Amino acid sequence: MSPQKIVFPQVLEQLMNERYRRNRAALAEAAHLSPSSLSQYVRGRAVPSLEVLVHLADILDVSLDYLVFGQERTTPPPELGHLTAHLESHMRNIEEQNATLHDLTARIGAQAAMRLADLVRSTAEELLPDAASLGGTLSPSDVDRLERCAAATTIVTTDLSNEILILAPNATKDTAAPGMFGQLVAQNIAQGVRYEYIVPDGAKWQEEARLLRLEVAKFGELDDAYVEEHLQIRHVPTACVPGYVVQHISREGLERQIPDILERVSRFICPDPQDRDGGFLAYSEIVNPSSQHFDLIPPENTMRILREVRALRKKAGAHDGAHW
C-alpha cells in the first residue's frame, strides 16, 4: 500500500480561510504560535512538531488525519504505536531528519520564553515606582522592535544558531531553517536595513554564513545581489567573545515608532558625532539561554566597542570607510 500524500499546508490554508479569514492572529494566539510561523506552515517552508499538529487539529475541530492528509481514514485505525511510527516516518521524509522535531520545539520554546519575559517586565513596571530601574536590560521582543527601527546592525558573535538552524548537518542537500531571529533579519533586510556579522574564521562558520544568506534570500524572496549588499558576514582569525550587538539608530525614529523603549534606553545611547539625531546603542549577547535578556552597555563602553569593531573589520580585510 502506497503512503498517503501529505497536504498539510493546503489543508491548513483552506481551514484558515474558512474559519479565520479576517482574524488569523486569533488562531496564532490560540495555538501559541507567531503569525509568521503560521505563514511558514502554509507556504510549506516549515514543519510543525507533532505536538503543534495535535493542538492545531483540536483548535480547528478536525481530526489529525484530515489536517495532515486532507481526508478521514477509511480503514480501521491501527494501534497507537503504529500510527505514531507512520506519522514520524512522513515527517522525516519532509525534512530528511528526525532532528527537525527537536529544533522546531526549541523555536516554540524560545517564543514562549519571550512572552514570559514580557509578562515579567510589564508586571514589574506596575509594581516598581521607578520603572527606570529596569532600563539596563532588553527582552527578545524589545530587541525585535529595536532592530526594526535601526538603520544598521553589527553583531559580533561566535554563535549563529539564533539566526540559522542547521537541521541535517550531514544531508546531501541544504536543510536549514531560520532561528529565533532569522526571520526578523530577513524581514528587516527586505525593508532596507543593513546587517553586519563578525564571526570567527573556519569551516563551521563559513557554512553557517552561507546557509544564513540562502535562508534570508529564500524567506525574504530577495535576489542574491541585494542580500550580498545588505548582509555582510566578515570572518576574523580571533575569538569573538564576549559577543555583542551595536545598532545605529535615530532618536527621532525611536520617538516616533517605539517611544516606550526610547525612554528606557535613552541614557545608554552613545552620540554619533557625524549625525546630530543619530547614535549607537550596544548590548551584550544572551550568555545563558534560560535568562532570555540582553544587558545594555553604557555609552562610555560603547565608544570602546566601536573602536574594537573597526579593528575587527581591518582584520577581516574590510575598509571601515566603506561600511554603512
What pLDDT does residue 47 have? 85
- Look at the domain 135-324 and name its fold: Endonuclease; Chain A (3.30.870)
What pLDDT does residue 124 have? 43
Q: What is the mean pLDDT of each run of 10 residues along the chain (324 residues)?
A: 76 86 82 86 86 87 87 59 61 54 52 50 47 64 89 88 64 59 85 91 86 87 91 84 88 93 93 91 74 84 91 81 44
What pLDDT does residue 288 have? 56
The full set of domain ranges for the chain reads: 1-133, 135-324
Q: What is the dihedral of CA 164, 169, 172, 175, to 10 degrees?
A: -30
What pLDDT does residue 127 have? 46
- Closest among 242, 321, 240 to 285, alpha carbons compared: 242
Spatial distance between the Cα atoms of 184 and 300, rounded to a whole number of angstroms:
29
C-alpha grid cell for residue 139?
Answer: 527582552
What pLDDT does residue 44 have? 85
What pLDDT does residue 170 have? 52
C-alpha grid cell for residue 280?
Answer: 549607537
**Beta strands 244-250; 275-284: pairing state:** antiparallel
What pLDDT does residue 112 have? 54
Q: Which CATH class is domain 1-133?
A: mainly alpha
What pLDDT does residue 250 have? 93
Q: What sign results for the dihedral spanned by CA atoms 284, 287, 293, 298?
A: negative
